[in-house]
């Protein structure tokens, strides 16, 4: 409607517009022109409001960036980031040697299609598609590019249509290419690691809390629905204050893990919640808020140690 009003006013000659605006209000033409003028004004006001909102958002982001830059590196420190990948890999690939998982690919029967790579990119959850699309932009002749039409078709489902029988072999072969390994790491950081760590720092969380956010982001996805990471965070914040809001870090993380476990069990009844119960809760109960090593945890009945 506002677009139509702007176009109507723009179509009038300047002199004619002046005449119409001078006609008394009870003139039909005057009413139409006044309506167009009002619409134009409303449109301009809406654009101004959007511009103001954008400017405020940019200013807030700049302020947040400055705040994060002044904080300790936390999970982003090289040794802690490596530890984070080992922890996630123990849950995703049953090994702390996460670099052995570039070529991993299988359908684990969870409704997300094929799960592949270092953080379990899935054909049904959009992240695998994004990875292959971005990789193909820089490397158009890669062995996965031919599957892009099929990946777009199966996105959001557990279907293998158009992928079988060759996609799994193509993935494993491409995983031998250093550029594709680098692409997996870049996509992991861009989609999961960096947003999770940044937001955790803004919420006042230390290294453990940053990992809690990161692992939840990987498992639940960076989504705003009730079962996505941002939805879980909103539910946790409705029950407990973050340290950034003056709350107890331990109490908030306990609440977040409660909410997360409920979401995991609601989505997949009977799921093994080791990554919460015998890893993150264990670190929290021990008061290991900085994820100091040596670290011992259990995942699906197996014990892992990092010294």
Residue 256 has pLDDT above 70, yes or no: yes
**In the predicted model, is pLDDT for residue 53 greater than 90?**
no
Per-residue pLDDT at 30 exceeds 80: no
The CATH number of the domain covering residues in 103-174: 3.30.386.10
Higher pLDDT, 114 or 17: 114
pLDDT at res. 65: 83
Average pLDDT, the chain: 87
DSSP assignment, residue 166?
T
Q: 257 is written with which tokens?
A: 């893990």
Distances (CA, A) of 217 to 120, 153, 178, 193, 229: 12, 24, 26, 8, 5
More confident site: 66 or 248: 248
The three-state secondary structure class of 303 is strand
Q: How confident is the model at residue 70 (pLDDT cuts 50, 70, 90)?
A: confident
pLDDT surpassing 50 at residue 201: yes
Q: Is the pLDDT of residue 44 over 90?
A: no
Same fold: 78-99+195-307 with 103-174: no
The domain segmentation of the chain, as residue ranges, is 2-70, 78-99+195-307, 103-174
Give the pLDDT of residue 15.
30
Residue 121 φ/ψ, nearest 5 degrees: -60, 140
Active site residues: 92, 110
Helices within 189-248 (DSSP H only): 194-202, 207-220, 229-239
| Predicted pLDDT at 64 | 81
Contact 110, 120 (CB under 8 A): no
Query: Residue 198: left (phi > 0), alpha (psi -120 to 50), or beta?
Result: alpha
- pLDDT of 41 reads 58
Dihedral sign (CA 162, 120, 217, 67): negative
Sheet holding 121-122, edge to edge: 105-107, 114-116, 121-122
Question: Do 126 and 228 touch, CB atoms closer than 8 A?
Answer: no
What would the pLDDT profile of 212-226 be if each residue is shown by its tens digit?
999 999 999 998 888
201: preceding bond cis by omega (within 30 degrees): no
CATH class of the region 78-99+195-307: mainly alpha
Backbone angles phi, psi at 89, to 5 degrees: -65, -30
214 in Cβ contact with 197 (< 8 Å): yes
- Check: CB of residue 225 under 8 Å from CB of residue 231: yes
Q: Which residue has the higher pLDDT, 35 or 168?
A: 168
| Mean pLDDT of the 256-262 span | 98
Give the DSSP H or E segment for 107: strand 105-107
Write down the pTM of the prediction.
0.81
pLDDT of 28 above 70? no
pLDDT bracket for residue 39 (50, 70, 90): low
- Overall average pLDDT of the 294-298 stretch: 97
């Amino acid at each position: 409607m506002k677009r139509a009003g702007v176009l109507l006013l723009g179509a009038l000659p300047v002199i004619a517009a002046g005449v119409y605006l001078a006609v008394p209000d009870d003139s039909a033409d005057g009413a139409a022109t006044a309506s167009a003028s009002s619409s134009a004004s409303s449109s301009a006001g809406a654009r101004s409001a959007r511009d103001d909102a954008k400017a405020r958002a940019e200013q807030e982001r700049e302020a947040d960036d400055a705040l994060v830059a002044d904080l300790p590196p936390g999970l982003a420190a090289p040794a802690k980031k490596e530890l984070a990948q080992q922890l996630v890999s123990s849950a995703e690939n049953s090994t702390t040697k996460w670099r052995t998982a570039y070529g991993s690919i299988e359908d684990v029967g969870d409704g997300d299609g094929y799960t592949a790579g270092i953080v379990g990119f899935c054909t049904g959850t959009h992240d695998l598609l994004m990875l292959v699309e971005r990789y193909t932009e820089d490397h158009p002749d890669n062995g996965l590019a031919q599957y892009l039409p099929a990946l777009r078709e199966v996105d959001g489902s557990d279907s293998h249509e158009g992928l079988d029988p060759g996609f799994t072999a193509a993935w494993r072969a491409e995983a031998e290419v250093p550029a594709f390994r680098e692409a997996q790491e870049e996509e992991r950081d861009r989609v999961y690691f960096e947003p999770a760590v940044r937001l955790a720092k803004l919420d006042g969380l230390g290294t453990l809390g940053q990992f809690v956010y990161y692992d939840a982001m990987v498992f639940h996805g960076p989504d705003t629905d009730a079962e996505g990471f941002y939805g879980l965070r909103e539910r946790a914040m409705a029950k407990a204050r973050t340290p950034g809001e003056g709350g107890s870090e331990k109490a908030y993380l306990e609440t977040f893990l409660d909410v997360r476990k409920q979401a995991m069990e609601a989505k997949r009844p009977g799921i093994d919640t080791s990554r919460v119960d015998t890893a993150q809760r264990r670190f929290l109960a021990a008061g290991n808020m900085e994820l100091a090593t040596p670290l011992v945890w259990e995942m699906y009945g197996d014990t892992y140690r990092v010294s």
